[in-house]
Amino acid sequence: MENFGNLMDGFGIVFSFYHFGLMAAGVLLGILVGVLPGLGAPNGVSLLIPLTFTMDPISAIILLTSMYWGALFGGSTTSILFNIPGEPSSVATTFDGYPMAQQGKATQALTLAFMSAGIGALVGVTVITVLSGWVTQFALKFSSPEYFAVYLLTFCSFIGMGSSSPFKSVVSMMLGFAFAAVGMDGMAGNMRLTFGITELIKGISFLVAVIGLFGLGELLQTMEEGLRFDGIHARIKIRDVWEAILSLPKHWMTLLRSALVGCWMGITPGGPTAASFMSYGLAKRFARKKDGFGKGEPAGVVAPETADHSAGTCAILPMLALGVPGSATAAVMMGGLMIWGLTPGPMLFIERPDFVWSTIASMYMGNVMAVILVLTTVPMFAAILRIPFSIIGPMIVVVCFIGAYQISGARLDLWLALVFGIAGYLLKKLDYPIAPMVLAMVLGDKTEDAFRQSMIFSKGSLGIFWTNSTLVATIMTLAMLLLFWPLIGRLVGRLRQQRTPN
Amino acid sequence: MFKAKLITTLLASALYATAAAAAWVPEKPVEFVVASGAGGGTDIFARTIQSIILKYKLMNAPIVVLNKGGGAGSEGFVYGSASLDDAYKLTFGTNNEYLLPLVAKMGYTADMLVPVTALALDEFLIWVNANSPYTDAKSFIEAAKKGDGLKMGGSQSKDTDQTLASMISEATGAKFTYIPFKSGGEAAVQLAGAHIDANLNNPNENLGQFKAGMVRPLCVFSSQRMAAGPKVSKDMAWSDIPLCKDSGIAIDNYQMPRTVWLPAKVSPEAIAFYTTMLKKVSETPEWKSYIEKTSQSDRFMTGDELRAYTKQDAERATAVFKREKWIVQ
Amino acid sequence: MQNPSGILMTRLTMEIAVALAAAIAGAIVCYGSLEIGTGWGDAGPQSGYFPFYIGLFIVIASCGVLVESVIEQRRYKQIFLTREQGYRILTFFLPMLGFVAVSMVLGLYVGLGLYLFGVMTIQGGYRIGKALAVCACTIVLFYFVFEKWFQVPLLKGPIEALLKIY
């Protein structure tokens, strides 16, 4: 095992008090930016980059990646406590994490989220360690049709999630696609659906929508019910933390499936967001009791968190090996790499193995440290909820709007967040499923771009999605299987019923 | 909102009255508006300048870097030109400042910003996959003339890459199917995976793949060879790459100026201040090493020279856009 | 049917209103895509192809919701909002709206100060002194976290300009 030896060398380099200090500082700063909506990992990382100019690249990447882990964990915290996802990839965590918090199980939800995220990350790094050579080759096989197939697979695994009227699901998802289409059309270089409003040129940020739909919409609902957070007003016991940790083995199947989905989506550059949605969809589909999902089912927290983090860690590999950043944060880090004088690409593994393997080694340690630090701060975060509502209520509102403004410094976004807030309240009350809208907003334009690129490749023939490679055909088949799974399940059931009487 | 603007402008003019007599210096944080997403070429350009200014303390006012890459960078130009006399918004871009408004309604016009300095010229090259049969530009062009032509990938639509592709077709009769990707980096990976036949990336965008011997440069669109240096791939240095005009493609020069912009009505004193500061930046060893690492051409342009350059560049692009019918009214 | 005097809106009314709003949004999307080409060119779909059909789907599905809610009237004859709930929503929503409106003119810092102060004194019943202290601390904290540490400039108004706080 050549990789294993390299990894040990990496551990040797990383193992120093200086680097541990950097890791701790990075993780804590990361938790801070993650918890504050409006600040995300990309902000934090780009802010630290000037500090790293004087560091050696290994220390610098340790600081930046640690901050990234911290921010990911912090983002899950706000998803669970306030229903405000800090990062696109933690949206799926709100589906069951927030209901759990409302039922007074905030501590359990947070602990489950952190532990499964940690496990996901460790599985991810292990995959990177073992498969580093193969993964690079595999990612090169991906072109536009393959990307489209992966996105389609995500949508298919998620369809049928909303159990209410199918019309409402369609309205919700299509509205999401429409919002995603606003702004510049990257394929033709012209403006779409901006109606002459300059501030719409950059598009409708997915985060503004999410802040409104989830954060503000939820607050309105809470107010209407006159709940005033009483539900979350639970005491925090250290015992809850332990109980949650001990309950993890029960979810081994979800953990395993989600980690696999995460690794697969991280390596095939589908990304952590797609991974977390897909894994949530699969968890619900294969669960024995589907009714609990959306109402505080622990597996609904475990699934997206595990997949999110295993995909996030696996995505570092394509970044280093190919120079394709898997996320906004990775893009900033890549910029840093170039400023430090390193070229991301296949040669990085050969020219600077010390850098690559120290980075990978630091990912093991950084994640373990992040889990420990974040678990010790759980009681602190949960205590936020004990501040009287007339103070914390407006505070959350303010933070939501600051978050919306900060994304691109546009005034219009404040109004948009408000409108999305009202929409979120109304849609939720009328049983429109919101998840399809969010998924469509996140993946909508990527899917469209991949589709249209494929069409240019094939000169307009749809056959490309089956004939381009065995890879794309396999993914498409999987997608179709998932899409028609309920139908297939019913058919199989009927066949069995017919057989039994004979 | 209007009132707020009025008061700030009044305040700003009051500041001028006192400061303009002496040399102008910034008295509050200066915003570096980056017309690209984090990690893009323009972002690295701006952040390198920021780091040099900080290191040599070339300016006392703090710097705030803002990434505004939406709408292919137009978000940054709209933001940078929001008030025409705001001397505290330095916008970092390329020639996309004057190319973008030609092809779509962008919410700003090219003349709302003036170029302060250009600090570097980024080169364009024809790259092919290392396993492809084309070893020089001539055989590549011949192949592209046959049948449906070749698949050419690039960054963005109706931007520098697609413009150059169109110019090559016009000059040689080669046929290309242009496939726009989100960034040059994506186009680089697609080429390394042999999903496309060629791309027109800047040196830096393909550097990783070039080093690994996965892609091969055929020629560079410049009037002189690139700076000599050590071998980058197994057998090639940047200076070994032939010129496109010597390989039968009659395009003398095609480069992308890395440019810093200010709103059009900023006082000459402020422009002078930033020009001097950026001149100092361009003379530091850190700047030289940035130029070297990214394989760009070191070229400091300002004042009339720069204005003439942008005018000529815009005219040439306009001719292409007209031919391709990309122009919007 | 519950006591009609407490009802502000029935669910049916709301279903219809939201479905109509969605249908209008869909129509706007269709209209917006018409001008950028909705066809299928030689190089695949044009800019407006997907948005146009997306808009169309929105219109059709909204009509579906509309028909569904009219047919199943009985199921939807529940209360959507009672007077008391409506009142609670407004006491939360109006200050929030005020906050956004004020922030547009005076900047986020002033806006958040006024908003927090108003809610604490009027709805929370805090004493003015205590509310003032909390507001001041919050503003200062936010200022340092956003402007100083993370260098993220927030929307500022004329008051900050007068005080020369940038």
List of residues 6+ apart from A452 with CB closer than 8 A? A187, C43, C44, C45
Are B51 and A453 in contact (CB < 8 Å)?
A: no
What percent of the residues of chain C are helix, what percent strand, and what percent coil, each to the nearest 5? 75, 10, 20
Residue at B207: amino acid letter: L
Residue B251 Ramachandran class (φ > 0 left, ψ -120 to 50 alpha, else beta): beta
Q: What is the model's pLDDT at position B329?
A: 65
Q: Is the pLDDT of residue B318 over 90?
A: yes
Per-window interface: A 17-46 vs B, CB < 8 A = 42, 46
Q: Which domain holds residue A373?
A: 2-492
Residue A68 Ramachandran class (φ > 0 left, ψ -120 to 50 alpha, else beta): alpha
Rounded-to-integer distance, Cα A231 and Cα A266, Å? 37
Q: Is the pLDDT of residue C62 over 80?
A: yes
Nearest chain C Cα distance for residue A152, angstroms: 15
Q: Report the sign of the C-alpha dihedral through residues C12, C18, C21, C22, in that order.
A: negative
- Indicate the pLDDT class of residue B151, thresholds 50, 70 and 90: very high
Rounded-to-integer distance, Cα A199 and Cα A412, Å? 7
Distance of CA C166 to the CA centre of its chain: 29
Q: What is the model's pLDDT at position A231?
A: 41
List of residues 6+ apart from A311 with CB closer than 8 A? A89, A120, A124, A261, A262, A263, A265, A266, A270, A271, A272, A274, A275, A276
Helical H runs in A316-352? 316-322, 328-339, 348-351
Q: What is the model's pLDDT at position B111?
A: 93
Nearest chain A Cα distance for residue C2, angstroms: 18
Question: Domain check: are C157 and C88 in the same one?
Answer: yes
Nearest chain A Cα distance for residue B229, angstroms: 16
- Kindly state whether A461 is in contact with chain C, defined as any CB-CB distance less than 8 angstroms: no
- Kindly state whether C104 is in contact with chain B, defined as any CB-CB distance less than 8 angstroms: yes
Q: What is the model's pLDDT at position B89?
A: 94
Instruction: Confirm whether A392 is domain-assigned.
Output: yes
Rounded-to-integer distance, Cα B13 and Cα B20, Å? 10
Q: What is the model's pLDDT at position C4?
A: 47
Closest-CA residue to A316 (of A258, A276, A355, A371)? A355
Tokens of B67: 């990434």
Q: What is the mean pLDDT of residues B118-134?
A: 95
Locate tokens 């933070």: which residue?
A: A399
Instruction: Confirm whether A502 is domain-assigned.
Output: no
Q: What is the mean pLDDT of residues C46-60?
A: 92
The residues with which B301 forms a beta bridge, in sequence order, are B118
Kindly provide the ipTM of the predicted complex, given to two decimals: 0.92
- Kindly state whether B82 is in contact with chain A, defined as any CB-CB distance less than 8 angstroms: no
Cβ contacts below 8 Å, chain A against chain C, sum to 176
Question: Domain check: are C98 and C155 in the same one?
Answer: yes
Chain A residue whose CA is closest to C107: A411
Question: Domain check: are C94 and C27 in the same one?
Answer: no
Are C44 and A167 in contact (CB < 8 Å)?
A: no
Q: Is the pLDDT of residue B20 over 70?
A: no
Question: Domain check: are C63 and C8 in the same one?
Answer: yes
How does DSSP assign C65-130, residue by residue? HHHHHHHTHHHH-SEEEEHHHHHHHHHHHHHHHHHHHHHHHHBHHHHHHHHHHHIIIIIS---HHH
Q: Minimum mean pLDDT among A3-12, A274-283, A378-387, B69-78: which range?
A: A378-387
Q: Minimum mean pLDDT among A14-18, A117-121, B134-138: which range?
A: A14-18
Phi/psi at A463 (5° precision): -60, -20
Rounded-to-integer distance, Cα A441 and Cα A206, Å? 6
Q: What is the mean pLDDT of residues B81-106?
A: 91
Asked whether the beta carbons of A237 and A107 are under 8 A apart, the reply is yes
Tokens of A236: 């925090």
Q: Is the pLDDT of residue B314 over 90?
A: yes
Q: Is the pLDDT of residue C3 over 50?
A: no
B255-B260-B265 Cα angle (round to 5): 130
- Indicate the pLDDT class of residue A185, thresholds 50, 70 and 90: confident
Question: Domain check: are C100 and C119 in the same one?
Answer: yes
Tokens of A137: 């080759």
Residue ending a domain, choose from C77, C109, C133: C77
What percent of the residues of chain B are helix, what percent strand, and what percent coil, each to the nearest 5? 45, 20, 35
Q: What is the model's pLDDT at position B121?
A: 95
Q: What is the mean pLDDT of residues B293-297?
A: 89
Tokens of A302: 């475990």
Are B188 and A323 in contact (CB < 8 Å)?
A: yes
Q: Is the pLDDT of residue B17 over 50?
A: no
Q: What is the mean pLDDT of residues A18-25?
A: 90
Q: What is the model's pLDDT at position B315?
A: 93
Tokens of A495: 């066949």
Are A338 and B158 in contact (CB < 8 Å)?
A: no
Per-window interface: A 340-379 vs B, CB < 8 A = 341, 343-348, 350-351
Rounded-to-integer distance, Cα B74 and Cα B259, Å? 15
Count CB neighbours of A341 within 10 A.
Answer: 12
Pairing of strands C7-10, B150-155: unpaired
Most confident of A36-45, A259-268, A412-421: A412-421
Instruction: Confirm whether A53 is domain-assigned.
Output: yes
- pLDDT, tens digit, for every residue of A231-267? 444 455 678 888 888 888 889 999 999 999 998 888 7
Chain C residue whose CA is closest to B9: C161
Question: Domain check: are C60 and C93 in the same one?
Answer: no
Asked whether the beta carbons of C150 and B64 are under 8 A apart, the reply is no
Contacts of B29 in chain C (CB under 8 A): 153, 166
Considering CB atoms only, which of A190, A406, A455 is closest to C45? A455
Share of residues in chain B with pLDDT > 70 (%): 93
Q: What is the model's pLDDT at position B228?
A: 86
| Average pLDDT for chain A | 82
Question: Domain check: are C64 and C88 in the same one?
Answer: no
Are B7 and C161 in contact (CB < 8 Å)?
A: yes
Are C158 and B8 in contact (CB < 8 Å)?
A: yes
Rounded-to-integer distance, Cα C15 and Cα C80, Å? 9
Residue ending a domain, choose from C49, C77, C105: C77
First-residue to last-residue Cα distance in chain A: 56
Q: What is the model's pLDDT at position A161?
A: 52
Nearest chain C Cα distance for residue B111, angstroms: 26
Task: Specify the number of domains making up chain C.
Answer: 2
- pLDDT, tens digit, for every residue of B230-275? 888 888 999 999 999 999 899 988 999 999 999 999 999 999 999 9
| Three-state secondary-structure class, residue A350 | helix
Locate tokens 């020069």: which residue?
A: B253
Rounded-to-integer distance, Cα A450 and Cα C114, Å? 47
Are C161 and B28 in contact (CB < 8 Å)?
A: no
CA distances in angstroms from B169 to B133, B141, B175, B243, listed in the order given: 20, 9, 6, 17
Instruction: Confirm whether A384 is domain-assigned.
Output: yes
For the purposes of burial, counting CB atoms within 10 Å of the CB of A285, is it exposed (0-12), middle (13-18) or buried (19 or more)?
middle
Pairing of strands C79-82, C7-10: antiparallel
Q: Is the pLDDT of residue A478 over 90?
A: no
Choosing among A45, A52, A143, which should be mutated to test the B contact, i.e. which has the most B CBs within 10 A?
A143
- pLDDT, tens digit, for every residue of A189-214? 888 888 888 888 888 887 788 888 88
Q: What is the model's pLDDT at position C27?
A: 95
Residue at A364: amino acid letter: Y
Q: What is the mean pLDDT of residues B60-86?
A: 89
More confident residue, A234 or C17: C17
Q: What is the mean pLDDT of residues B281-305?
A: 92
Q: Which domain holds residue C130?
A: 84-162
Q: What is the model's pLDDT at position B21?
A: 46
Asked whether the beta carbons of C114 and C102 are under 8 A apart, the reply is yes
Rounded-to-integer distance, Cα A73 and Cα A47, Å? 19
Instruction: Confirm whether A501 is domain-assigned.
Output: no
Locate tokens 């710097």: which residue?
A: B63
Contacts of A224 in chain C (CB under 8 A): 81, 85, 88-89
Read off the DSSP letter of residue A230. G
In chain B, the domains with their CATH numbers are 7-122+256-324 (3.40.190.150), 125-247 (3.40.190.10)
Cβ contacts below 8 Å, chain A against chain B, sum to 150
Task: Specify the number of domains making up chain A.
Answer: 1
Instruction: Confirm whether A500 is domain-assigned.
Output: no
Considering CB atoms only, which of A38, A171, A390 is closest to C62? A171
Question: Domain check: are C88 and C150 in the same one?
Answer: yes
Question: Domain check: are C46 and C8 in the same one?
Answer: yes
Q: Minimum mean pLDDT among A77-81, A411-415, B211-215: which range?
A: A77-81
Q: What is the mean pLDDT of residues B60-76?
A: 88
Share of residues in chain C with pLDDT > 90 (%): 43
Residue ending a domain, choose from C77, C97, C127: C77
Q: What is the model's pLDDT at position C76?
A: 66
Q: Minimum mean pLDDT among A77-81, A493-497, B94-98, B135-139: which range?
A: A493-497
Q: What is the model's pLDDT at position A77?
A: 85
Instruction: Confirm whether A432 is domain-assigned.
Output: yes
Question: Domain check: are C61 and C131 in the same one?
Answer: no
CA distances in angstroms from B278 to A338, B58, B271, listed in the order given: 21, 9, 11
Instruction: Confirm whether A35 is domain-assigned.
Output: yes
